[in-house]
Amino acid sequence: MRLLLTACATAALVAAGPVTATAAGQGSQGPVGGDLLTAKPTVVATGASPPAVQASAFVVADLDTGQVLAAKAPHAKLRPASTLKTLTALVLLPRLKKTDPVIGSDADARIIGSKVGVYPGLHYTVDLLFQGMFLASGNDAVHALCAHDQGGVPATIQRMNAKAKDLGALDTTVTDPTGLDADGQYSSAYDLALFAQAGLSRPDFAKYASTKFTNFPNAGNKGTYQVANQNKLLFSYDGALGVKTGYTTLARNTFVGAARRNGHTLVVTMMNAPHGITEDAANLLTWAFANYGKLQPVGTLVRPAATPPKTTTDHKATTTGPEPGPDRPDRSRTVLSPGQAMQSLALRIPIWVYAAPPVLLLGLFLRRPRTLRRGRRH
C-alpha cells in the first residue's frame, strides 16, 4: 500500500510538471534559452574563453540570430536599476504620439533618483521626454510619460509585467517603471538581452538608444542645456549602438550595450558590477567579434509567445488587437511548436485534474471482495 501511494503521488507531480515548468521555460519543460544556461554557476561558453569581468551576471548574444554566445548566471534574479527602462520604453513607445505636448508636474519634479530636469508648468513633447529618459536616465521624464498614458504609473507597471511575459522574460517582475530599488523588482541578464532585441527592432527605440546629445529647456524657458548619453560605449567603441546603463546602491552598475561589426549585431548585458562596466562591456564585445567563427551557441533568446488578439480601449488606441509596432510580430502567422502547444494545453487544465486518475486508481485497489475481508477476520 505504501508503494502504491508513493507511485500515485509521483504520478501526480510528474503530470503537474508543465504547470511549474513555465517559471523556468517557455515552449518546453527546460530552462528558458536552453539547459546550458542554468547548468553551470560560472561562465558558459564553447569555442573560446571570454575575458574576465567583474559583473555577477552577464550575457553576450547575437541579436540577429538569437544565439547566446556566452553567459554567466544569466537567469540570476537581480536588481536592474535603470536598464529596466528598456522595458518601459517597449511599453510606452507604441502607445504615445511623439508630437503630443506634455506639461511638467510637481509629481514629476519630486521624483527621486536621476533626473533630466522636468519642471512643473514647462511644456515638453513626448519625443523630448523619451530623449531625456534614454540619455539622462531621467526618472522625472519616465514619470511624465507614464502619467500621460491612460492609467498612469500603475497601468504602466501592469503593461510592463505583461510585456515581459509576452517576450519570455520570466525572470522579470516590475514594481517601479523607473528601475529604482523597489521591493520585489527584479530582472536578469538574459531578460535584459530580450528587451534589447525587441527594442532595437524598433527604429524609434534604436534612434533614442544611439543618440549622443540633446538639448533640454531651462526653467522659465530661458534657453536650453545640453544632455549627453550616459552610455559611454557610444563615444568610445566602433560600431556601438548604445542602449541603456543603470546604477543604484543595491543594484550597483547594470548595463545593456550593443554594437554592429562585420555584419553581426551583438549585445552584452551585465548586472551587479562594482565598477569598470564600460571597459568590461567593450572587452566582451571585442572578444565575441574576434572569435565569432569559433563560438558555438550555448543557448538562444526565446521568441515572443503567441497571444490571442484582444480589444483595447487604451489611450491613443482606436483599433482592436495588440498595439502595432515592429516589436509585435503578426500573431495570426505565429505557429506553436509541439512543445508549446502541449504546454499551453496543460496550463488550461486545473492541477487537481492531474491527480484525479491516480486517486481513482487507488480506490480500485482498496476495494476488496467482502468474502475476502470476512475470511481475514477469523
Partnered with residue 270 across adjacent β-strands are: 58, 255
End-to-end C-alpha distance for the chain, whole angstroms = 22
Q: Which residues are catalytic?
A: 82, 85, 137
The span from the CA of 375 to the CA of 373, in Å, is 5
Partnered with residue 67 across adjacent β-strands are: 300
The rounded radius of gyration (Å) of the Cα atoms in the chain is: 25
The span from the CA of 216 to the CA of 224, in Å, is 5
CB crowding 28-43: b at 16 or more within 10 Å, else e: bebbbbbebbbeeeeb
Q: Which helix (H) or strand (E) holds 107?
A: helix 106-110
What does DSSP assign to residue 51? P
Half-sphere exposure (CA, 13 Å, Cβ side) for 290? 10
Grid cell for residue 257? 550595450
Among 29, 35, 56, which residue's Cα sits nearest to residue 299?
Answer: 35
For residue 244, say whether it is annotated as part of any ligand binding site: yes
The packing angle between helices 126-135 and 85-92, to 10°, is 160
Length of the chain: 378
The span from the CA of 249 to the CA of 180, in Å, is 10
Q: For residue 67, give the 3-state DSSP assignment.
A: strand
Other CB atoms within 10 Å distance of the CB of residue 121:
11
Integer angstrom CA distances of residue 320 from 126, 150, 161, 334: 24, 16, 21, 18
* Bind-site residues for substrate: 244
* Bind-site residues: 244
